[in-house]
Amino acid sequence: MPKKILILFFIIFGCNTTIQVKETYFGGQYCSGGSDVKNIPFSRPLPFARVDHLLRSHGHFSFKSLMIANAYGILPLIEKMEELEKKTDYKDINSPTHLEFVFTKNKIHEIIFLVSTDLTGTVSELNCYSDRIDDIIKHLRYSENQRITQFYIAAIVVGGIFGILSGILQWASATVQATDSIIGGLAVGYISYQAYQVETHVNYLDAKNVLKDIWYRPHETEIFSSPVWYLLNHPTERKRRVPLKQMSTILDILISRWLENGYLGAEGTSERESLIQLYFSRGGVHTIEQLETRKQMVKQAGVTVNLFFQDLQNFGQELLRHN
């Protein structure tokens, strides 16, 4: 009996349900593309009042189109094109005014191509981060499933061993046989229970955390290009008689979605403080569920930037309506 108790002791205390996977370092250049679009010196955006002025005085372009134009330094060209359009005599296509109008319009189309390239690069980078996290999750799931399988096999083996021992000890007293059965049943039950308690952890470190700037919103960012950052920090629509500072920005809406989905725990709790530190710093020890949450937040950021393509397409269509 002492030997069987020692075996049971070894089984119970040898069942570690926490799997520590080696540190995963996510280098800052892992998802960096080869494009230098972020380094293109786009003209700085004009004051928001200029967007309002064009929106009210002309009405040729929607608010979202003007925001795209202002983010990428196109707004002065639009203002110039609007003035040239008033002076252009379309009967004389070779007039200096008309030629300058065509040149200005072509210049805008050239910048629109760069805008598309910038947005594509940003979305691709965010998708890369999301896919990379997903790869880590799949690896952790595999390790977790392997450990669960080991527990189930152990339960079967232990059950078999105690069954054999019970048969060998049939000549002993009924009390000893009953004790064997109880101990064996407890061991099998405990190991089976442990299979449901397996939890995998990984020390996930990210030198270039794409979520950090979204949460803290610094004036300048190393994650996004300046134009994309400008768009993210401004509203998606212009509400009349509402000051700019009182309108929800795109980042406001994105972060609200995270909070509503419960990604950061309940407000005012220590859980929220620890999750903010985990997701918006250089990283730390994550469970699989926490990595899933991180992946979802990165994916939602990518979807948000991807919506700018629709605004860009509408801008191009509105531009075509000008002769």
53-107 pLDDT, tens digit per residue, is 777 776 788 889 999 999 999 989 988 888 888 887 766 777 888 888 889 989 9
Q: Reduce the DSSP state of residue 48 to 3 states and report it.
A: helix
* Single pTM value for the model: 0.77
Instruction: Please tell me what DSSP assigns to residue 278.
Output: H
135 has a pLDDT exceeding 70: yes
125 has a pLDDT exceeding 70: yes
What average pLDDT does the structure give for the chain? 77
Say what the pLDDT of residue 98 is.
Answer: 82
Residues 6+ apart with CB under 8 A from 109: 316, 319
187-221 pLDDT, tens digit per residue, is 545 544 454 444 677 888 887 889 999 999 998 88
Among the listed ranges 8-17, 148-157, 211-220, 293-302, which one has the minimum average pLDDT value? 8-17
Instruction: Please tell me what DSSP assigns to residue 233.
Output: T
25-66 pLDDT, tens digit per residue, is 555 456 765 445 555 667 788 887 778 777 777 678 888 999
Q: pLDDT: is 263 or 239 the higher one? A: 263
Kindly report the number of other CB atoms within 10 A of residue 104's CB atom: 19
Taking the C-alpha atoms of residue 248 and residue 197, their distance in angstroms, rounded to an integer, is: 43
17 has a pLDDT exceeding 60: no
274 has a pLDDT exceeding 90: yes
The strand pairing partners of 202, in sequence order, are 21, 286
Taking the C-alpha atoms of residue 251 and residue 212, their distance in angstroms, rounded to an integer, is: 12
Instruction: Please tell me what DSSP assigns to residue 285.
Output: E
Q: Where are the domains of the chain?
A: 2-33+117-315
Asked if residues 165 and 180 have their Cβ atoms less than 8 Å apart, the reply is yes
169 has a pLDDT exceeding 70: no
Taking the C-alpha atoms of residue 263 and residue 266, their distance in angstroms, rounded to an integer, is: 9
Taking the C-alpha atoms of residue 115 and residue 112, their distance in angstroms, rounded to an integer, is: 5
| Sheet strands side by side (includes 18-26) | 18-26, 199-206, 283-287
Q: pLDDT band at residue 185, thresholds of 50, 70 and 90?
A: low
